[in-house]
Amino acid sequence: MRKSQGFTLIELLVVIAIIALLMSILMPALSRVKKQARTVACLSKLKQWGLWFSMYAEDHNGRFSQGFTISNQRAVQTLAPYHKCDDDILTCPNATKPWVDEYGNATGLQGTFLGSTSAWGYVSLGLARPIKGSYGVNAYINDPPRGSEPHSRPAADFWRGPSVKGAAYAPLWMDAIRYNGVPLQTDRPPSFDGENWNDDAQMGRYCMNRHSGFAGCLFLDYSARKVGLKELWTLKWHKSYNQAGPWTKAGGVTPGDWPDWLRPFKEY
């Protein structure tokens, strides 16, 4: 009699169990690698934006655009000849689905827990076609005409161009749920991740959990790196910004002061 060369049912079950065990071990690692790859892609896009901001400033006597108080002077508008309304370069890999689709229909993401992983738009902004995006400018980098500074901020607060002291600590363009913002050191943190943008606490436009406790940020020296969410309050947003404000360790904030969703992240 010939001996059968096939596997027994027990052997097959053992092999399947081993494969399942390996998959349970590998899947979290693969997920982390995928997230890391998206973060690297985000920083790469930010560096490309740095090249465009640099080119714009060189063509305008070392100055940036006048800002959102002037028609068609938002950064995303003035840089349109470079980004050409390309949805891919306008969006972080972790935030591509917009609040409003191409037909003007709300997707239900704005102001929800999914808001941090969605894009603003679609909006027309006077461009060749409606666009979406998930980055925003620090409006203090703009060069608004005297007397038209947004939210009546002091004229001396604005950077107006890249050639400034401390450029490596001044945010220029970064992950955001709005295409611009003018944060203050006293701005409260969002009560939940993805909370709707607002005018009374605009730091929340940048404080969102897209990269496991970090946000991608391009600085005025055109360097790009990850910034801790609580670290946002320690950056040099404008010339008189207090980097030791009430939401920093130096300013006396305690872990219990933060909303629940922010408490696990590193203090700065």
* Domain extent listing, the chain: 43-262
* pLDDT value at residue 208: 95
Secondary structure of 55-119 in HEC code, one letter for each residue: HHHHHCCCCCCCCCCCCCCCHHHHCHHHHCCCHHHHCCCCCCEECECCCCCECCCCCCCCHHHEE
Express each pLDDT in 63-73 by its tens digit: 999 999 888 89
pLDDT in tens, 76-110: 999 999 999 999 999 999 999 999 998 999 999 99
Average pLDDT, the chain: 92
